[in-house]
């Protein structure tokens, strides 16, 4: 675990960066960080005003970035908002999935899942993780999934992306084991969120009217 005493001794609240923080697991992670005395930089590709109000009500100073973390520009917008401040905790949570059989999906949507769940996540972790390693302290939390442990018909790309995240997290943890930087992967099962309830009710929750998995507002299909 990260020793936050140095940060506290300097009179500066620790900083947590949380992606996919507008709803779902990302929202709850950000709330817990705020309750634990962290300031926040949060990101999602959906509006964050309500989340900001809630977290500020818990005493946190909050900066929000609405950006598509599937793109390099979106990740860099978030990274630039950090502004060189030391990040004590990074929760790499943004992600989404697709319903329907793989061959029936639009391939641009397939690439968006990969770019959000894998490429954007790695880009952000690479940027922030190198600074953590240089300082000799920090915590990285990936939102993986038990879905990564099994093939998932009609959500093959999502499950495959989570298999990558799960595996990568364990490998990175080993690489950083003597650096002072901790790496953890959260691997929940189905989670009671707005998206999960909508699917059970037969509703649609996704762009273009498709019955997609969650977008960057928070990992719900887990």
Catalytic residues: 158
Burial of 10 (0-12, 13-18, 19+ CB in 10 A): exposed
């Amino acid at each position: 675990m990260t020793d936050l005493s140095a940060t506290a001794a300097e009179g500066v609240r620790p900083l947590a960066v949380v992606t996919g923080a507008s709803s779902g697991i990302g929202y709850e992670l950000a709330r817990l960080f705020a309750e634990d005395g962290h300031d926040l930089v949060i990101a999602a590709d959906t509006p964050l005003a309500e989340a900001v109000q809630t977290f500020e009500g818990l005493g946190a100073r909050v900066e929000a970035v609405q950006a598509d973390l599937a793109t390099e520009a979106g990740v860099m917008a978030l990274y630039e908002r950090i502004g060189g401040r030391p990040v004590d905790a990074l929760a790499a949570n943004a992600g989404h999935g697709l319903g329907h059989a793989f061959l029936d999906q639009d391939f641009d949507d397939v690439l968006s899942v990969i770019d959000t769940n894998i490429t954007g996540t790695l880009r952000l972790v690479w940027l922030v993780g190198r600074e953590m390693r240089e300082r000799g302290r920090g915590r990285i939390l990936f939102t993986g999934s038990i879905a990564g442990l099994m093939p998932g018909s009609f959500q093959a790309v999502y499950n495959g992306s989570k298999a990558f995240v799960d595996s990568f997290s364990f490998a990175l943890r080993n690489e950083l084991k003597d650096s002072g930087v901790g790496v953890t992967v959260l691997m929940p099962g189905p989670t009671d969120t707005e998206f999960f309830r909508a699917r059970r009710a037969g509703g649609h929750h996704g762009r273009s009217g498709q019955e997609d998995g969650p977008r960057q507002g928070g990992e719900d299909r887990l």
